[in-house]
Structure 1
Amino acid sequence: MTSFLRYEQQGHIVTLTMNEPQRRNPLTGNTAVADFLEAIDRIHRDASVRAVIITGAGTAFSSGGNIRDMERQASGQVPGMEIRQDYRLGIQRLPLALFNLEVPVIAAVNGAAMGAGLDLACMCDMRIASEQAQFAESFVKLGIIPGDGGAWLLPRVIGLARAAELTFTGQVIDARQALEWNLVSRVVPPDQLLPTANELAERIAANPPHAVRLAKRLLREALHTRLDTLLELSAGFQALSHQTSDHREAVSAFLDKRKPEFTGS
């Protein structure tokens, strides 16, 4: 079977391309979750990686769940506890893995991001959209709910009221409305999507990687942590940061009025 996910690395940047365009890059009914988990584990073990881009091949970013899987689940012949376990051991592993990935992740949304496809984009730290992108939290249209963590992810990106509107209506919004709602940080012509994502990834990768990883961890922890707890964690992370070679290089370069050279140490 052909791998769902194409893994490419150039310098410090890894691009993960969902590569089942004929089916609009679904996240179930194939090896999508397993491929993502394998890629994330590979990135964890590769200290040279400083930024990640996720995008889709073809005209869609991701259509979300496979409708053929839903047909089987709707048949009444699959026990509810089996379906529950399928979610827990399948798609629900993806938001946890991406949440715990310390390398910043950019979603380059090239086309339709529907249901779990939208939620996958929300699992990333940043989202850039092609002018051709569309977004929908479309589960309700199929009589189901966001089973992949979308009810936690989407409100944290666009706020509760707008997340509720998308979730309860299942409506499709275009890239411009996504920009107005802060679902994406910028909208670009289709041919500029990957160059723009790469330019942003390069600017991230130019910084001391330990500082970037620790800063991302603080942002993630801040989503569900008290201020005093986060401050204590920040103090520990800062103590580690002050002892890195990259911090010494940054200070020295600033004083010498030269461009720093960061090694990740």
Structure 2
Amino acid sequence: MTDLILEKRDGAVLTIILNQPERRNPVSDNAVIDALSDALLAADADIDIRCVILTGAGHVFSSGGDLKQMKDGTGLRSDKAVQTRRNYRQGIQRLPILFEGLDIPVIAAVNGPAIGAGCDLALMCDIRIASDAAKFAESFVKLGIVPGDGGAWLLPRIVGFSRACEMALTGEMIDAHTALSHGLVSHVTAAEDLLLKAQEIAAKIAANPPHAVRMTKRLLRSAGRTDLATNLEMAAAMQSLAHATKDNAEAIDAFLEKRDPKFTGE
């Protein structure tokens, strides 16, 4: 059986590839959710991995749910409404909770269509870049359902309420350049340059002290749900930890000595 995901390590950067191109890389199956969760949690626990890139095999990032399974009731949908609720909570809803809790930065390299839950998977990441072949659709309404995996929470925070409403209530697809204008992605590249761009950004992140990077990400994530005073208190606590690291001392010494720093994660 083909591995559901592939992992490629290049120094401090881990690339995770959704690997069911023949099925358009669905993410609603528990087996895929388990594999992706295991890979991300392992990367988060390894301080030597400084950044993760998430992409899809083939020409699709992710089609989200499997409509055939939805029709025959073998996926998230059950004949019993209470079981459907449990399927969502114990299945795909684990992903937004997982991503929200990660300290390691995750870059979505959107190589093709990101539809429904596939679009939401990209939204769960910290940075999104797209090839010019990418397309995005918050398309649940077209199937008579709602965003069940966090999209209604994530999308307005990224593109603003009005554009989120337009995307979610029409269900229409947007291209990569429209996504760029909406702020949904930060870069659009030619298809052949997508992973190079992702690796370039990941390398810039990986070049910095890993504890400072992870704590900075945690402050940015928490800022969306806490007030200023709480965020400042978190920043003060984290700053005391950052100042105690050898990497902080190395950064200062390297600056004063006009040389490149060597960060060890200590």
Q: What range describes the TM-score normalised by the shorter chain of this pair? A: over 0.9
Describe the shift of the 1:20–1:77 C-alpha distance in structure 2 as closer, same or farther (beyond 3 A): closer
Aligned length: 265
- Aligned partner of 1:40 in structure 2 is 40
Residue 53 of structure 2 corresponds to residue 49 of structure 1: no
Q: Which stretches in structure 2 are left out of the alignment for 5+ residues?
A: none
- Aligned partner of 2:164 in structure 1 is 163
- Aligned partner of 1:190 in structure 2 is 191
Residues 97-246 of structure 1: pairs in structure 2 closer than 5 A: 97-246=98-247
Q: Which stretches in structure 1 are left out of the alignment for 5+ residues?
A: none
* Cα shift at 1:70: 1.5
Instruction: For 1:102 and 1:72, locate their aligned partners in 2 and report how far apart those are by CA, in whole Å.
Output: 38
Instruction: For 2:45 and 2:74, locate their aligned partners in 1 and report how far apart those are by CA, in whole Å.
Output: 40
Instruction: For 1:221 and 1:10, locate their aligned partners in 2 and report how far apart those are by CA, in whole Å.
Output: 29
Instruction: For 2:94 and 2:78, locate their aligned partners in 1 and report how far apart those are by CA, in whole Å.
Output: 25
- Aligned partner of 1:62 in structure 2 is 62
* Cα shift at 1:72: 3.2
Equivalent pair of 1:64/1:116 in contact (CA under 8 Å): yes
Cα deviation per residue 1:165-215 (whole Å; 9 max; x = unaligned)? Answer: 000000000001001101100100000000000010000000000000000
Give the aligned residue type for 1:20: Q
| Structure 1 residue runs of 4 or more that deviate by more than 3 Å after TM superposition | 72-77
Give the aligned residue type for 1:96: I
Equivalent pair of 1:4/1:32 in contact (CA under 8 Å): yes
* Cα shift at 1:44: 2.4
Equivalent pair of 2:103/2:215 in contact (CA under 8 Å): yes
Residue 265 of structure 2 corresponds to residue 264 of structure 1: yes
Equivalent pair of 1:28/1:69 in contact (CA under 8 Å): no
Cα deviation per residue 1:224-264 (whole Å; 9 max; x = unaligned)? Answer: 00111111110000011011000000001111111111000
Cα deviation per residue 1:143-174 (whole Å; 9 max; x = unaligned)? Answer: 00000000001111100110000000000000
Describe the shift of the 1:261–1:176 C-alpha distance in structure 2 as closer, same or farther (beyond 3 A): same
Instruction: For 1:253 and 1:245, locate their aligned partners in 2 and report how far apart those are by CA, in whole Å.
Output: 12
Cα deviation per residue 1:20-54 (whole Å; 9 max; x = unaligned)? Answer: 00111011236210111111221122121100000
Give the aligned residue type for 1:22: E
Instruction: For 1:81 and 1:179, locate their aligned partners in 2 and report how far apart those are by CA, in whole Å.
Output: 39
